[in-house]
C-alpha cells in the first residue's frame, strides 16, 4: 500500500512540474523587456525641466519605523531659486503605492540654499553616522558657491522619528561640507562607505571630481568618519567628557561610562549600503 502511495506521489509531482514548464517555466516576478508602465509606483517631477530622477537612492530607514525610505533628486527644480534643486524623501509603507504620483505629495523635501546650486544631483544614504538607530542621508550640491565659485557643498541630514516637512531649506541641514577650492564640484557624488573602521558608526564619501590637488582635474574623494553625538550641554557649557564606550553589536547597544553618567546608545545592527 505504501509503495502504491509513493508511486502516486511521484506521478503527481511529475504532472505538476510538467504543467509549470508547459506554461513557461518557473514564474519569476520580473521578466525581460517589461514596460515600466507596469511598475508598482511612479513619481512625476513637480514642474517642467526639474529633471527629477537624475539621482535616486535608498535613504535607509530614516524614521526607524522598520520600512526603508528613499530619495529622488531633481537638480534643476526652481522652488528654492532658479536651479537650486530639490530632493524628495518618500517614507516606506506597507501599501498604498500608486502610479503617476506627483512629487509634491512626498513626505519631505529639501531645497538648495541658493539659485544655481543644483542640489540633488547626488543623493544617498549615509548609513547611521551618529549611531542613534536612525539612518541618515546625504544631498550633494556640486555647483554651490559657499566655499568658492563651484566649490560645491554636501549636506548631511540626520534621521529622526518624525517632524519631516516639505520645502525645507538645506540651510537647516544638520551638517554640511564645502569643497576645498573653487571649481572642485565637491558633492558631484556622495555615498555611504559602510563602517570602514568598525567603530559602530557608519562613514561616508564625498567626491570632488574637478579637484586639482593631485593634478589638473585629477579629482579628490573625501572620507568622513561617523561620530557619536556631541557631549550634552550643561548650563550652556559643553560638558567635559572622559568616557569609555563598550560596543555590543550582538545586541545593538553601546554602553558609555562617562563623567556625569552612563549612557546607553542603540545603533543599527543592519547596515544599509548603496
Ligand atoms: Ca522608514
Ligand atoms: Ca530649473
Ligand atoms: Ca542616525
Ligand atoms: Ca565608522
Q: What is the pLDDT of residues 91-108, one digit of tens each?
A: 999 999 999 999 999 999
At 266 the pLDDT is 56
From the CA of 49, how far away is ligand 3's center (Å)? Answer: 33
At 22 the pLDDT is 47
Burial of 53 (0-12, 13-18, 19+ CB in 10 A): middle
At 169 the pLDDT is 98
From the CA of 212, how far away is ligand 3's center (Å)? Answer: 33
pLDDT digits (tens, 9 = 90+) for 6-48: 655 555 455 444 444 444 456 678 999 999 999 999 999 999 9
pTM: 0.77
Taking the CA of 157 as reference, the closest ligand is 3
Taking the CA of 160 as reference, the closest ligand is 3
At 229 the pLDDT is 77
From the CA of 253, how far away is ligand 2's center (Å)? Answer: 45
From the CA of 162, how far away is ligand 1's center (Å)? Answer: 10
At 231 the pLDDT is 62
- Sorted by sequence, the CB contacts under 8 Å of residue 232 that are 6+ apart come out as 239, 260
At 3 the pLDDT is 61
From the CA of 45, how far away is ligand 1's center (Å)? Answer: 22
E strand or H helix at 5, and its extent? helix 2-22
Across the 274 residues of the chain, what is the mean pLDDT of every consecutive 10-residue run? 56 48 62 96 98 98 98 98 98 97 98 98 98 98 98 98 98 98 98 98 98 98 92 46 57 60 53 40
At 83 the pLDDT is 98
DSSP state of 23: T
From the CA of 158, how far away is ligand 1's center (Å)? Answer: 13
Q: What is the mean pLDDT of the chain?
A: 86
Q: From the DSSP assignment, how many helices (H) and strands (E) are in the chain?
A: 1, 19
Taking the CA of 82 as reference, the closest ligand is 2
Amino acid at each position: 500500500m505504501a509503495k502504491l502511495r509513493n508511486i502516486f506521489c511521484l506521478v503527481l509531482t511529475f504532472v505538476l512540474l510538467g504543467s509549470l514548464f508547459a506554461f513557461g517555466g518557473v514564474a519569476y516576478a520580473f521578466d525581460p523587456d517589461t514596460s515600466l508602465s507596469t511598475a508598482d509606483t511612479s513619481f512625476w517631477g513637480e514642474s517642467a525641466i526639474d529633471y527629477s530622477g537624475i539621482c535616486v537612492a535608498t535613504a535607509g530607514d530614516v524614521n526607524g519605523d522598520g520600512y526603508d525610505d528613499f530619495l529622488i533628486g531633481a537638480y534643476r527644480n526652481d522652488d528654492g531659486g532658479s536651479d537650486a534643486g530639490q530632493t524628495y524623501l518618500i517614507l516606506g509603507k506597507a501599501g498604498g503605492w500608486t502610479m503617476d504620483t506627483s512629487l509634491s505629495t512626498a513626505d519631505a523635501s529639501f531645497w538648495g540654499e541658493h539659485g544655481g546650486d543644483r542640489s540633488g544631483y547626488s543623493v544617498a544614504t549615509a548609513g547611521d553616522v551618529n549611531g542613534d538607530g536612525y539612518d541618515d542621508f546625504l544631498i550633494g550640491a556640486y555647483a554651490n558657491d559657499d566655499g568658492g565659485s563651484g566649490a560645491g557643498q554636501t549636506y548631511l541630514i540626520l534621521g529622526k522619528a518624525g517632524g519631516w516637512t516639505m520645502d525645507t531649506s538645506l540651510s537647516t541641514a544638520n551638517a554640511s561640507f564645502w569643497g576645498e577650492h573653487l571649481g572642485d564640484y565637491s558633492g558631484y557624488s556622495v555615498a555611504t562607505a559602510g563602517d570602514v573602521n568598525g567603530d559602530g558608526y557608519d562613514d561616508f564619501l564625498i567626491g570632488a571630481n574637478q579637484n586639482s590637488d593631485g593634478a589638473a582635474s585629477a579629482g579628490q574623494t573625501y572620507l568622513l568618519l561617523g561620530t557619536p553625538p556631541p557631549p550634552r550641554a550643561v548650563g550652556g557649557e559643553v560638558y567635559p567628557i572622559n568616557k569609555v564606550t563598550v560596543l555590543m553589536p550582538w545586541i545593538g547597544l553601546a554602553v558609555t561610562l562617562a563623567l556625569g553618567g552612563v549612557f546607553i546608545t542603540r545603533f543599527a545592527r543592519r547596515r544599509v549600503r548603496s
